C-alpha cells in the first residue's frame, strides 16, 4: 500500500545489506472468497484493519564480508539489529535509501500517517538518529525519490503553503517562483 515492494536494500559498495523481517502472525485473518467460483473455499489473508494490530517489522544490517563461512564452517557475527520504531512511535517502514555518500536513511511513518521521519542509521552500531520530521494535521504523503542526500544536504518534498515543494535541510527552495507547481518526485541531483 505504501509503494514499497521489497524488503532488502544493498549498500552502494555491495558489501552490506539492510534486510527487513515482517511477522504477520499477530494480524487478524480475513477470508476472501471468489463470487465467480462459489464451490472454491475462501482463502485466508492477514489484514491490519484500522484500530487492529499491525504486522511487526524488524530491520537488520548484515555485513556480507563477515557473513562468509570461515574454514571451520562457522560464520562471523555479522548481523546488527536496527531499532527504527523509536519505542513504537513509528509502525511503518515506508522506504529505505542508501546514498553513495553517507549512511542509510529510513523513511518511517506513524500509523495515522500524519508524521513522517527520516532516520539515519549508524552502520557500525545500528543506532538511529532522527534527521528530519514532517507532520501534517491530515496526512503526510510519501514522495518518490524523497529523501535524497547530495553534498551532505537532505532534500525532501513536503506540502507547504498548499503545494508540494522541494525542501533542502528544512528550507523551501524557490518559495515564490513555483506558485501552482507541484513537485511530484526527486529524480536525482548533480552535486551542484
Banded pLDDT at 76 (limits 50, 70, 90):
low
Span 32-48, average pLDDT: 94
Span 16-38, average pLDDT: 95
Least confident of 44-48, 95-99, 142-146: 142-146
Banded pLDDT at 107 (limits 50, 70, 90):
very high
Span 33-53, average pLDDT: 94
Span 146-179, pLDDT tens digits? 888 888 889 999 988 888 888 999 888 877 666 7
Is 60 exceeded by the pLDDT of residue 57? yes
Is 80 exceeded by the pLDDT of residue 15? yes
Is 70 exceeded by the pLDDT of residue 99? yes
Is 70 exceeded by the pLDDT of residue 117? yes
Banded pLDDT at 53 (limits 50, 70, 90):
very high
Is 90 exceeded by the pLDDT of residue 96? yes
Least confident of 40-54, 134-148, 161-175: 161-175
Between residues 134 and 146, the one the model is more confident about: 134
- Model's pTM, two decimal places? 0.84
SS (H, E, C) the chain: CCCCCCCEEECCCCCEEEEEEEECCCCCEEEECCCCCCCCCCEEEECCCCCCCCCEEEEEEEEHHHHCCCCCCCCCCCEEEECCCCCCCCCEEEEEECCCCCCCEEEEECCCCCEEEEEEECCCCCCEEEEEEEECCCCCCCCCCCCEEECCEEEEEEEECCEEEEEECCEECCCCCCCCCCCCCCCCCCCC
Amino acid at each position: 500500500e505504501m509503494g514499497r515492494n521489497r524488503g532488502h536494500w544493498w549498500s552502494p559498495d555491495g558489501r552490506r545489506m539492510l534486510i527487513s523481517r515482517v511477522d504477520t502472525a499477530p494480524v487478524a485473518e480475513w477470508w476472501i472468497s471468489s463470487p465467480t467460483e462459489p464451490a472454491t473455499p475462501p482463502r485466508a489473508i492477514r489484514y491490519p484493519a484500522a484500530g487492529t494490530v499491525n504486522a511487526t517489522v524488524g530491520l537488520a544490517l548484515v555485513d556480507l564480508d563477515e557473513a562468509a563461512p570461515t574454514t571451520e564452517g562457522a560464520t562471523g557475527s555479522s548481523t546488527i539489529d536496527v531499532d527504527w520504531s523509536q519505542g513504537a512511535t513509528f509502525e511503518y517502514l515506508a522506504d529505505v535509501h542508501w546514498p553513495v555518500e553517507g549512511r542509510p536513511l529510513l523513511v518511517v511513518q506513524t500509523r495515522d500517517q500524519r508524521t513522517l521521519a527520516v532516520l539515519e542509521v549508524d552502520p557500525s552500531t545500528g543506532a538511529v538518529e532522527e534527521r528530519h520530521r514532517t507532520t501534517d494535521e491530515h496526512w503526510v504523503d510519501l514522495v518518490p525519490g524523497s529523501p535524497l542526500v547530495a553534498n551532505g544536504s537532505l532534500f525532501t518534498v513536503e506540502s507547504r503553503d498548499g503545494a508540494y515543494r522541494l525542501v533542502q535541510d528544512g528550507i523551501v527552495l524557490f518559495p515564490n517562483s513555483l506558485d501552482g507547481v507541484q513537485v511530484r518526485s526527486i529524480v536525482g541531483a548533480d552535486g551542484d
